[in-house]
């Protein structure tokens, strides 16, 4: 293991002039098209410009009760999805958050630099506690601090996320600035990266709501592993409006969302999409959106199925990348501990 760590260390030293990108997703099943278009797709597009770390955020997922066997399987599946989407585990660090104890350790230290009032203002905390009123645990409340620890441990410059994570990025920056103002420049202050299209994909059944893996209506979300017919059917059933006008505007949120999905899948601008469908009915738009989504998701699904056959390959990715993440994270953690006055025993 030591040998590998030294090798990884050399790689990190080599890349020290390169900016760092960090992102991740909760390790739950049923990822949606929103997760893909709002985050994963941008990760792939940005990967060559940065030194990248992508976490499978299994500690965050513990705020909701998990079935242990299913949970372990979901974490592996998410790792496969990252790879299937085009993230090369040789060039980027894909790892399980729980395999690097520094995340939980830094989160505790940062908890002590975060105010209750700040956490009480988090809209995701308010939404989630309203939805899970039987399990409003302390982890749900301090969730943004763990996320701040994830990001700050790697001296991150940029964090590609969907719009719903912006508030968590703001609190991360606030915590980092507060810490730096006391102890000097310990943390890099990260910037969010929001894609031009797809940053907020809405429910197909209620375009006022975000497309979400926990939506009770299965027709509201396209799941990444939905088969092509299911994808086409869900697009066909998407809620639009009675205006019968092809336009990209807030007053027609259902159609706007379909255009957002289409544009993100085929790399067009909304103006180009509106021009393409001028004079068409909504049925034709829905059909084209269905085909565009299938053409993006089918190759991804095929690659996941291939990866599922190779257990030892994923095991190896999990192990070797954990070592690299461990090394980088601990470099920052050691600095933080020294700054706050914790005793280091070597």
Whether 213 is a known active-site residue: answer yes
Q: Which residues pair with 210 in a beta bridge?
A: 202
Q: Which of 20, 25, 322, 328 binds ligand TYM (CB under 6 A)?
A: 25
Q: Which of 199, 235, 265, 288 binds ligand TYM (CB under 6 A)?
A: 199
Q: Which of 84, 161, 274, 307 binds ligand TYM (CB under 6 A)?
A: 161
Distance CA 270, CA 264 (A): 10
Q: Which of 8, 76, 210, 234 binds ligand TYM (CB under 6 A)?
A: 210
Distance CA 329, CA 289 (A): 41
Whether 319 is a known active-site residue: answer no
| Residue 41 sits in the site that holds ligand TYM (CB under 6 A) | no
Min dist. Cβ of residue 188 to ligand TYM (A): 14
Stretch that binds ligand TYM, among 74-82, 163-171, 230-238, 322-330 (CB under 6 A): 163-171
Q: Which of 128, 234, 256, 286 is catalytic?
A: 128
Q: Which residues pair with 96 in a beta bridge?
A: 56
Structure tokens at 9: 């260390």
Structure tokens at 298: 């089918």
| Residue 339 sits in the site that holds ligand TYM (CB under 6 A) | no
| Residue 107 sits in the site that holds ligand TYM (CB under 6 A) | no
Find how far residue 101's CA is from the centre of its chain.
Answer: 20
DSSP string for residues in 234-296: HHHT----SS-----STTSHHHHHHHHHHHHHHT--HHHHHHHTTT--HHHHHHHHHHHHHHH
Binders of ligand TYM among 47-106, rule CB under 6 A? 57, 60
CA 223, 260, 202, 253 dihedral sign is: negative
Stretch that binds ligand TYM, among 23-31, 226-234, 295-303, 321-329 (CB under 6 A): 23-31
CA angle at 322 for the pair 318 and 323, rounded to the nearest 5°: 125
Q: Which of 11, 19, 200, 213 is catalytic?
A: 213
Whether 338 is a known active-site residue: answer no
Distance CA 173, CA 189 (A): 6
Question: Site residues (CB under 6 A) for ligand TYM?
Answer: 22-26, 34-35, 38-39, 57, 60, 147, 150-151, 159, 161-162, 164-165, 168, 199-201, 210-211
Catalytic residues: 128, 210, 213
């Amino acid at each position: 293991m030591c040998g590998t760590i030294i090798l990884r260390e050399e790689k990190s030293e080599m890349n020290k002039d390169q900016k760092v990108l960090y992102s991740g997703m909760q390790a739950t099943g049923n990822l949606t098209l929103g997760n893909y278009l709002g985050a994963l797709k941008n990760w792939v597009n940005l990967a060559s410009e940065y030194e990248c770390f992508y976490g499978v955020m299994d500690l965050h997922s513990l705020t909701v009760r998990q079935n242990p066997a299913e949970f372990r399987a979901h974490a592996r599946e998410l790792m496969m999805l990252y790879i299937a989407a085009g993230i090369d585990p040789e060039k980027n660090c894909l790892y399980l958050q729980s395999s690097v104890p520094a995340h939980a350790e830094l989160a505790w230290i940062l908890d002590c630099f975060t105010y209750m009032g700040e956490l009480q203002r988090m809209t995701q905390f308010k939404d989630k506690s309203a939805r899970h009123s039987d399990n409003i645990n302390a982890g749900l409340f301090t969730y943004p601090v763990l996320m701040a620890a994830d990001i700050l441990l790697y001296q991150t410059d940029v964090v590609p996320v969907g719009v719903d994570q912006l508030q968590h990025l703001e609190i991360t920056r606030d915590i980092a600035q507060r810490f730096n103002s006391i102890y000097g420049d310990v943390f890099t202050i990260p910037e969010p990266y929001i894609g031009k299209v797809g940053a907020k994909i809405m429910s197909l059944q209620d375009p006022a709501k975000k497309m979400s893996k926990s939506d009770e209506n299965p027709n509201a979300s396209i799941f990444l592993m939905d088969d092509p017919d299911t994808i086409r059917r869900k697009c066909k059933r998407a809620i639009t409006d009675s205006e019968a006008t092809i336009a990209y505007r807030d007053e027609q949120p259902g159609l706007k969302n379909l255009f957002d999905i289409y544009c993100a899948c085929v790399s067009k601008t909304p103006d180009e999409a509106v021009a393409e469908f001028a004079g068409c009915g909504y049925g034709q738009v829905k059909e084209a959106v269905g085909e565009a989504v299938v053409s993006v998701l089918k190759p991804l699904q095929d690659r996941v199925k291939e990866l599922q056959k190779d257990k030892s390959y994923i095991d190896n990715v999990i192990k070797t990348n954990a070592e690299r993440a461990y090394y980088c994270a601990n470099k920052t953690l050691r600095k933080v501990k020294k700054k706050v006055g914790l005793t280091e025993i070597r």
